[in-house]
């Protein structure tokens, strides 16, 4: 049960901060924005390269 709770909490934080993380990543990597329209790649791939 603890594992499920942790996954739910982490998932909520990721969804809540996805916009901020995406903006920060684009600030550090401007070229990633030119690869296409809206970013559809998983946020986890950006956070944990």
User: How confident is the model at residue 8, as a pLDDT?
Assistant: 77
Position 47 scores a pLDDT of 56
Per residue in 1-49, pLDDT (tens digit) is 678 888 877 777 776 667 776 777 666 655 544 454 455 555 555 555 4
Which tokens in the block code for residue 41? 């790649």
- Which pLDDT does position 1 carry in this prediction? 65
Dist CA 23 CA 4 (whole Å): 29
For residue 37, what are the CA distances in angstroms to 14, 18, 25, 32, 48? 21, 16, 15, 10, 22
CA distance 5 to 31: 36
Can you say whether residue 24 is alpha, beta or left, with left for phi > 0 and alpha for psi between -120 and 50 degrees?
A: alpha
pLDDT at site 20: 73
pLDDT value at residue 19: 72
Residue 22's pLDDT is 72
């Amino acid at each position: 049960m603890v594992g499920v709770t942790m996954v739910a909490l982490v998932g909520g934080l990721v969804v809540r901060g996805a916009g901020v993380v995406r903006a920060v990543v684009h600030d550090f990597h401007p070229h990633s924005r030119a690869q296409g329209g809206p970013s559809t790649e998983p946020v986890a791939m950006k956070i944990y390269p």
